[in-house]
Amino acid sequence: MLTNLISRIHDCSQAEDILSVSVECVKQALGSDRAVVYSLQPQSLGRILAEAVAPGFPRTIETTIDDPCFLSRHIDSYRNGRISAIDDIQTAKITPCHLETLEHIAVKANLVVPILLPDGELYGLLILHQCSQPRSWQPAETVLAAQMALQIGWALDNAIRWSQCQKIQSTIDRHKYYSDLAIAATQQLHQCNTRAEVLEIATTQARTILECDRAIVYAFVPPNRGKVIAESTLPALAPIRGMAIEDPCFEAEYIDRYQYGGVQSIANIHHAGINSHFVDVLAKIAVKANITVPIIGSHNELFGLLVVHQCFNYRQWQDPEIDFLRQIGIQTGLALLKAQFQEEVMMMKSSLKRAGMVKETIATADTQIQHVKESLTNSVQTLDEAKHLMRLLSHEVITLTEKFSSEDINLIRIIAKKLQSNTDTATVGALSLQSNIAELETALDSAIKVYKSRKYN
């Protein structure tokens, strides 16, 4: 019987299967009406985890037994290997509350042996019930039950260790999975040229990868106001982008935590111990669970928060999911700084380009000014010569009145021709001057417009 039990339970890899096989083998081996495993593990204290029962007697599987008398009097002794055999509960020296518990499940006699793990931890109790009548338990039966409980403990220890290894491996796999996704998302974030693109990629990646209902960036405005400046949400939810949120308790309760890289995960907003005002704010936008991570901006200041929302159900967030969002929050802050720098460089290049246009326009205006100067110089020279000839002509006219001769007449003719030539030159110079002045005004107007555009931008 013991060999059969060992063979069967060591083929099982799950604790539930080991317990199910064990109670069937023990019940069959010892011919009892019921065999159960009564858990004393912290997560299921006082609960019947496995049962094999004969027809006609009440089932107790998944029953939680609250028997403070039993626990307070005997749990330490069972931890030290105690075995209890009761032939008849009506004549045994047991407490009234324990007697009542046994009568409730039709027990008339029982045999209790501890299930100890190899490290000495008390896993639970292997209990045989005789329900049809009292029973005198034989020493060989007690020894067999104890040996079976020992083998069950060893098998459970192996299953527990295997389960822990599986959980560890699963956690490692999930961390690697989200780590790879975080690397891909980081590459996309750092390829963005503007801050608007960074925020869009951050919210989209966070919502898609975590398969949640909404992802937002909440920009923090000291001391206690904020605004939703980016959002990725399911079509079934009303958008909240642009929503301003005021929380008078934010600065006092949360800002220091987020400023130094803290995160917050809430599986159920109504059981998270957060202030009622914040619960109302979340409930208004249909949030039932969320994760919040900080986005650190320039000068190591809190720029805002990257938040994912679960709106249609509550959600127990896993550590790899929280770590993933923390990494995305960090990379979003770095990508925002990079995009801001790129935007400033583009603005500088634009300003330099406009400055080049101003320089070119000023150079054109300078050329026009040089033309005007040349025209003015030529015009002044021509006018000075004309003035001299006019004075000479006046002198000759006066002389003519006193003495008239043919030579004088020729001289007058020569002076008149020269005066006519100089007058024509002066006229052309004046016209050229007017043209150059008009061109100069146009060039200066253009330079002023470019300068104003640069100044205001």
**Are 126 and 21 in a shared domain?**
yes
**Are 202 and 313 in a shared domain?**
yes
**Are 312 and 355 in a shared domain?**
no
Residue with tokens 């080049």: 356
| CATH number of the domain within which 57 lies | 3.30.450.40
**Are 58 and 16 in a shared domain?**
yes
**Sign, CA torsion 144/147/153/154:** negative
Residue ranges with strand state E in 173-249: 214-221, 225-233, 244-246
Over residues 56-91, the pLDDT tens digits come to: 999 988 877 766 666 666 788 888 999 999 999 999
* Collapsed DSSP state (helix, strand, coil) of residue 35: strand
Question: What is the pTM for the complete model shown?
Answer: 0.58
* Collapsed DSSP state (helix, strand, coil) of residue 302: strand
**Are 227 and 142 in a shared domain?**
no
| Radius of gyration of the chain measured on its C-alpha atoms | 49
Q: Is residue 388 part of a domain?
A: yes
Query: Going by DSSP bridges, is the β-strand pair 34-39/47-53 parallel, antiparallel, or unpaired?
Result: antiparallel
Measured from the Cβ of residue 184, the count of other Cβ atoms closer than 10 Å reads 12
Residue with tokens 């104003």: 452
Range of the domain at 87: 2-160
Over residues 364-389, the pLDDT tens digits come to: 767 776 776 677 677 667 666 666 76
Query: Which residue among 317, 339, 365 closes a domain?
Result: 317
**Are 16 and 134 in a shared domain?**
yes
**Are 373 and 262 in a shared domain?**
no
**Are 137 and 197 in a shared domain?**
no
Tell me the percentage of the chain whose pLDDT exceeds 70: 75
**Are 295 and 232 in a shared domain?**
yes
Alpha helices by DSSP H, listed for 191-233, are: 195-210
Number of domains into which the chain is organized = 3
Q: Which residues of the chain have pLDDT under 50?
A: none
Measured from the Cβ of residue 447, the count of other Cβ atoms closer than 10 Å reads 20
- Give the closest residue to 107 by CA, choosing from 84, 75, 140, 76: 84
DSSP tag of 403: -
Q: Is residue 116 part of a domain?
A: yes
Residue ranges with strand state E in 297-433: 302-310
